[in-house]
A and B are shown apart, each in its own frame.
Chain A
Amino acid sequence: MIWFIIKRLMQTVPVIIGVTIVVFVIMQLVPGDPAVLLAGEGATKETIEALREQLGLHQPLYVQYFDYVSNLLRGDMGFSLKNNQPVLQEIMTRLPITLELAIFSTLITIVLGMLAGIISAIRPYSILDTVVMVVALLGISLPSFWFGLMLMYSFSVKLHIFPVAGWDSMLHVVLPAFTLGAGGAAIVARMTRSSMLEVIRQDYIRTARAKGVKERVIIYKHALRNALIPVITVVGLQFGALLGGTVLVESIFAINGLGRMIVDAIRMRDLPVVQGGVLVASLVFVVVNLIVDILYRLFNKRIELN
Chain B
Amino acid sequence: MSKEVILEVKNLQTHFTTKRGTSKAVDGIDFTLHKGETLGIVGESGCGKSITSLSILRLIPSPPGKIAGGEVLFKGRNLVELPESEMRKLRGNEISMIFQEPMTSLNPVLPVGEQIAEAIRLHQKLNKKEAAKKAVEMLRLVGIPSPEKRAKQEPFQLSGGMRQRVMIAMALSCNPEVLIADEPTTALDVTIQAQILRLMKELQERLGMGVILITHDLGVVAETCDKVAVMYAGNIVEHATTETLFETPLHPYTQGLLASLPKIDEDQEELYTIEGNVPSAFNMPSGCRFASRCPLATNLCREYKPELIEHESGSKVRCWVYSNKWQEQEVVV
Q: Which residues of A are interface residues toward B (Cβ below 8 A)?
A: 201-204, 206-214, 222, 225-226, 299-302, 305
Are B122 and A210 in contact, with the CB atoms below 8 A?
no
Nearest B residue (CB) for A302: B156
In the assembled complex, B82 has its CB within 8 A of some CB on chain A: no
Q: Give bound CA distance, A203 to B115, whole Å.
A: 14
Asked whether, in the complex, the Cβ of A212 is within 8 Å of the Cβ of B107, the reply is no
A residues within 8 A CB of B104?
Answer: 202-204
Chain B interface extent, by class = 20 to 34
Interface with A: B85-93, B219-227, B241-249, which one? Answer: B85-93
Partner of A211, one of B61, B110, B118, B154: B118
> Of the 9-residue stretches B94-102, B138-146, B204-212, B282-290, which lies at the interface with chain A?
B94-102
Task: Assess the B122–A211 pair: CB atoms within 8 A.
Answer: yes
Q: What A residues does B118 contact at CB under 8 A?
A: 208, 211, 213
CB–CB B92/A210 < 8 A: yes
Name B residues whose Cβ lies closer than 8 Å to a Cβ of A.
57, 59, 61, 88-93, 96-97, 99, 101, 104-110, 118-119, 122-123, 154, 156, 167, 170
CA–CA, A305 to B153, complex, Å?
A: 14
Query: Considering the chains assembled together, what is the distance between the CA atoms of A301 and B104 in angstroms?
Result: 16
13 A-B residue contacts at CB 8 Å?
A201-B61, A204-B106, A206-B59, A207-B106, A207-B167, A209-B59, A212-B92, A212-B93, A222-B110, A225-B109, A225-B110, A300-B109, A302-B154
Is B108 a contact partner of A212 (Cβ separation < 8 A)? no
Closest chain A residue, CB of each to CB of B99: A203
Q: Cβ of A210 and Cβ of B107 under 8 Å apart?
A: no
**CA of A204 to CA of B106 in the docked complex: distance in angstroms?**
5
B contact residues around A212 at 8 Å (CB): 88-93, 119, 122-123
Q: Are A204 and B92 in contact (CB under 8 A)?
A: no
Which residues of B sit under 8 angstroms from A299, Cβ to Cβ?
109
List the B residue with the shortest CB-CB distance to A214: B88
Q: Is the CB of A210 within 8 A of B91?
A: yes
Contacts of A301 in B (CB 8 A): 109, 154, 156
Q: For B105, what are the chain A residues with a Cβ–Cβ distance below 8 Å?
A: 203-204, 206-207
Q: Which residues of A contact B97 (CB under 8 A)?
A: 210
Which B residues are CB-close (under 8 A) to A213?
88, 118, 122
Q: A204-B107, A204-B108 are in contact. Are A210 and B59 (CB under 8 A)?
A: yes
The 3 closest A-B pairs by CB, nearest first: A211-B92, A212-B91, A203-B104
A211 neighbours in B (Cβ, 8 Å): 91-92, 96, 118-119, 122, 170
Chain A's closest residue to B92 (CB) is A211
Question: Residues of B contacting A226 with CB < 8 Å?
Answer: 107-109
By a CB distance below 8 angstroms, the chain B residues around A214 are 88
A225 to B154, CA, bound (A): 14
